[in-house]
Amino acid sequence: MLLGFHNKAFAQSANLGIFPPIMQIETTPPAEVKSKFYLQNDGDGMLNLNIEIKAFKPSSSNDGQIEILDNFEDFPDPLFINRIKIKDKGVVIKSLTLSPKQRKELDFEITIPPNEAKGDYYFTLFFVNVPSTNISTNSTLTSAGVAMNVLLSVGPKGETKGFIDKFSAPLFVDSGPVPFTVQIENQSDHFVSAKGSIVIENIFGQKVGKIDLLPVNILSSSQRLIPDSKNADLNAKAYPYPVAIWPEKFLIGPYKATLTLGFSDSEQKFSRTISFFAFPATYLIGILAALGIVTFIILRIRKKID
List, for residues 81-91, the tens digit of each pLDDT value.
Answer: 999 999 999 99
For the cut 50, the answer to whether the pLDDT of residue 235 exceeds it is: yes
Over residues 121-141, mean pLDDT? 68
Query: Given a cut of 90, is residue 5 above it in pLDDT?
Result: no
| CATH 2.60.40.10 domain range(s) in the chain | 16-154, 162-280
pTM of model > 0.85:
no
Name the helix (H) or strand (E) containing 85: strand 84-88
For the segment(s) 162-280, the CATH number from 2.30.30.100, 1.10.10.10, 1.10.10.60, 2.60.40.10 is: 2.60.40.10
> Phi/psi class of residue 83: alpha, beta or left (left: φ > 0; alpha: ψ in -120 to 50)?
alpha
Digit-coded pLDDT (tens) for 266-287:
888 999 999 999 988 666 666 6
Provide the pLDDT for residue 290: 67
pLDDT tier, 237 (very low <50, low <70, confident <90, very high otherwise): confident
Of 102-111, 167-176, 225-234, 266-275, which range is least confident? 225-234
φ, ψ for residue 240, nearest 5 deg: -75, -15
Report the CATH fold assignment for 16-154: Immunoglobulin-like (2.60.40)
Phi, psi of 284, deg, nearest 5: -65, -45
Residue 57 DSSP one-character state: E
Cα→Cα distances 129→45, 148, 197, 252, 304, Å: 11, 15, 42, 56, 83
Average pLDDT over residues 228-240: 81
Single-letter residue type at 211? I
